[in-house]
Copies of this chain bind each other. A is one copy, B any other.
Amino acid sequence: MSTYASIEWKNGVVRMLDQRLLPHRTAYLELTDEHAVAAAIRDMVIRGAPAIGAAAAYGLALAAARSGAAEPETLRADLATAAAALRAARPTAVNLSWALNRVLARLADPALSTVEELRAVALAQAHAIAEEDVRTNRRLGLNALPLVPDKANIVHHCNTGALATVDYGTALGVIRAAHEHHKQVHVFVDETRPRLQGARLTAWELSRLGVPHTVIVDGASGHIMRTVGVDLCVVGCDRVAANGDTANKIGTYNLALVACAHGVPFYVAAPTSTIDLSIADGDAIPIEERAAGEVTHVGEEQVTPDGARVANPAFDVTPARYITAIITEMGIAYPPYRESLAALVEQANQGRG
Q: Which residues of A are at the interface with B, using a C-beta cutoff of 8 A?
A: 23-24, 188, 190-194, 196, 199-200, 203-204, 207, 213-224, 226-227, 250-255, 257-258, 260-261, 287, 295-296, 298-313, 316-317
Contacts and interface: CB of A to CB of B under 8 A. Distances in A.
A253 B258 CA distance: 9
A253 B215 contact: no
B303 A298 contact: yes
Q: Count copies of this chain in the complex.
A: 2
Contact of A215 (B190, B221, B304, B316): B304
A312 B223 CA distance: 11
Contacts of A214: 309-311
Nearest to A319: B226
A310 to B, nearest CB: 5
B23 A304 contact: yes
A316 B216 contact: no
28 contacts: A188-B311, A190-B219, A191-B193, A191-B295, A192-B219, A196-B303, A203-B304, A203-B308, A207-B308, A214-B310, A216-B310, A216-B311, A217-B250, A217-B251, A218-B218, A218-B219, A219-B250, A219-B316, A220-B254, A224-B311, A226-B253, A226-B316, A254-B254, A254-B258, A257-B257, A257-B258, A261-B261, A301-B301
A223 B305 contact: no
A15 B250 CA distance: 41
**Closest 7 interchain pairs by CB?**
A219-B251, A299-B301, A223-B316, A298-B298, A23-B305, A193-B217, A222-B253
B261 A313 contact: no
Given A226-B317, A261-B257, A298-B299, A193 B219 contact: yes
Nearest to A261: B257
Contacts of A192: 219
A223 B301 contact: no
Contacts of A222: 253-254, 257, 316
Contacts of A311: 188, 214-216, 220, 224
Contacts of A296: 199, 215
Contacts of A312: 216-217
B261 A295 contact: no
A303 B216 CA distance: 12
A222 B261 CA distance: 14
